[in-house]
Amino acid sequence: MSTLAERIAIARSLLFVPGDRPDRFDKAAASGADLVIVDLEDAVAAPDKDRARDNAADWLAHGNHAIVRINPPGTTWAETDLRMAAEHGSPVMVPKAEDPVALAGLAARVAGRCALVPLIETALGLEHAHAVCATPGVIRAAFGNIDLAAQLGVAPDDHTALTFARSRLVLASAAAGIAPPVDGVTTAVRDAEALRTDTAHARRLGFTGKLCVHPAQPGLVAEGFAPSAEELRWARAVLDAGDSVTTVDGQMVDKPVLERARRTLDRAREPYPTA
């Protein structure tokens, strides 16, 4: 696995920047986001697609790194987008990911040069979520709450309406053996409390990262997904006690609990205690 693919697997904040706004690329990279996504799809009008791709290619050619969100497979621009990303070894976010056969074909065409991040944002994509997540080359899935909500006729910020969809993607990712998924966007870009609430909800469901649409969001998102001081104290206590201890703080400790403690320290980028 490449270093960039490893970064995708553990990223908490992934910030979109429109491909037709090259003046914002460096600002996005300096925002504190774990990863930048140069968007050639929804953020770019049809007449500007080719120019946006050229902007991305030029920026990547100068040694910068980003995920590239290509246009959906089957559109006029998709194959050229894909070739450009492959030339630079850039990971590819695949919108409207719902057909594992088509996704496998895309993976074959990049021949291992690009890690894949399928954006699951349709009802059919959720029906096929496990097969999509299990496609060779897929590193991590992302949830497209805006498009899915439009298809279902619900509000994109309605936690109740989209809980099943989110949980299904978390389960599909775990079943496929890939990293936990990335949650969708909070469109209220100036509402810090809404962002905190959305992040906390996603974390409770098993997400470990979130898509961002404004440079003010990555810091709060990273904070929301970071283990709390109490969680870290508990994880250290469990692992310090060793495999033979059966209770810590009055709670049973067995193999799954030990694994949860290790994952907690992994999320904090902390080493495990040594016995």
All structural domains of the chain, each given as residue ranges with its CATH number in brackets, are: 3-225 (3.20.20.60), 229-267 (no CATH)
To the nearest whole number, what is the mean pLDDT of the chain?
Answer: 91
Query: Coil, helix or strand for 15?
Result: strand
Pull the structure tokens for residue 4: 């960039």
Distance CA(266)–CA(175), nearest Å, equals 20
pLDDT, one tens digit per residue, over 67-119 is: 999 999 999 999 999 999 999 999 999 999 999 999 999 999 998 899 999 99
φ, ψ of residue 122 in degrees (nearest 5): -135, 160
pLDDT, one tens digit per residue, over 154-184 is: 999 999 999 999 999 999 999 999 999 999 9
The two beta strands, 209-212 and 13-18, are parallel
pTM as predicted:
0.87
Pull the structure tokens for residue 11: 């990223």
How far from 248 is each of 62, 237, 239, 245, CA to CA, in Å? 52, 7, 10, 8
Q: Which residue has the tokens 């694994």?
A: 259
Distance CA(12)–CA(33), nearest Å, equals 8
φ, ψ of residue 104 in degrees (nearest 5): -65, -40
Q: Find out whether 69 is annotated in a ligand binding site.
A: yes
**Residue predicted with more confidence, 1 or 220:** 220
Q: Find out whether 121 is annotated in a ligand binding site.
A: yes
The helix, strand and coil proportions of the chain, stated in percent and rounded to the nearest 5, come to 50, 15, 35
Distance CA(187)–CA(199), nearest Å, equals 13
